[in-house]
Amino acid sequence: MPRNENPIEKTESLGHVVKVQQVIDFIVLSDLMNGGTRYHSEMEQHITKTLGGVGVNDAYFSQRLRALAEGGHVVRQWDGDNRYNRFYRITDAGEEYFKQLLRDLPERVNLAKKVYGLFDAHLAKYSKMSLK
C-alpha cells in the first residue's frame, strides 16, 4: 500500500516568495533611479521610512550593498578618508536589474500575501492553545 494515495500537488515553493534581499535591492535601486548618489545611511533611512519603521540590520544591509556593487548594479565610492562615508550610484546593469525586479516582484508579493494569509489562519487555530 502506498504511503500517500492522494498526494497534494505543489504549485509553488516557499523559496519563490519574496525574499528580504529582493525587498532591500528594490528599495535601494528605486531610490537610486531618481538620479544622483546616496550615502549608505540615507538609503538605510529611506528603507525604514518606506517600510513604516521596519529597518534593516546594518551588517546585512552592508552585505547587500556589497553584493549589488560586486554584481555591477551599483558603484560604491568613499567620500574622503572616512570609511563610513560610502556613497552609491546606480549603473546601467542596476537599472536592468531594477526593471527585472519590477516585472517579477508584484507576482511574488501577491503570493506572499496569500501564503501569509493562509499561515495566519493556520496560526489562529492554535493561538488559544495552552503553552504550559
pLDDT digits (tens, 9 = 90+) for 6-40: 777 878 777 778 899 999 999 999 999 987 899 99
d(CA 120, CA 125): 9
- Maximum C-alpha span of the chain: 72
Cell numbers given for 86: 560610502
pTM for this predicted structure? 0.84
Q: How do beta strands 38-39 and 74-78 pair?
A: unpaired
Question: CA-CA distances (angstroms) from residue 38 to 6, 81, 104, 118?
Answer: 54, 17, 25, 38
Higher per-residue pLDDT: 6 or 51: 51
Question: DSSP label at 4?
Answer: -
pLDDT tens digit sequence for 57-115: 999 999 999 999 999 999 998 876 666 678 999 999 999 999 999 999 999 999 999 99
Q: Which domains does the chain have, with CATH numbers?
A: 18-124 (1.10.10.10)
